[in-house]
Structure 1
């Protein structure tokens, strides 16, 4: 079952855009970045982001040897995850 990400928890000030997310969340749930990465690696349809009616799958990428979450290129927003509001 795909979880729809509607908010993120950001790390305290971090300049590297590949290391800004601490957790992702939605209605009544929140997963750490580490858990979300493991979930996506196990099931490529584990998470998505819906932005203005368009759906983008969440994928795992690697930068400087570190894995991070991002959305697949949807030709809509350059960074759907980082454009989400902070989780409460």
Structure 2
């Protein structure tokens, strides 16, 4: 089984522009880490690592790779029926 990492922050500039993609995700494990979305996509597709978001209610939603109608890969959380978006609701990662 691939190691799992909790994602606790994102980097998206400008933060409130709905047309811009998330650039990096990060977590607190091991003193803190960040990865580009391209790196995360590669690691998920290769099944080397798994990523998830721990929601305020205490439940966990996995991050998966999806393909846009234009054929571009991107990350999203599995459908859980709740709003707001689990990734976009995370705070900014330190720079």
Q: Name the TM-score class by shorter chain.
A: 0.7 to 0.9
What RMSD in Å do the two structures reach over aligned CA positions? 1.8
1:82 is aligned, of 62, 66, 88, to 88
* Structure possessing the higher radius of gyration over alpha carbons: 2
TM-score (norm 2): 0.80
Moved more, 20-29 or 78-87: 78-87
Q: Give structure 1 stretches of 5+ with no counterpart.
A: none
Q: Give structure 2 stretches of 5+ with no counterpart.
A: none
Kindly state the Cα deviation for residue 40 of structure 1 after the two structures are TM-superposed: 1.1
User: Secondary structure in 1 aligned to 2:73?
Assistant: strand
Q: Number of paired residues?
A: 86
2:60 is aligned, of 37, 55, 58, to 55
Q: Where do 4+ consecutive residues of structure 1 move more than 2 Å?
A: 11-16, 75-78
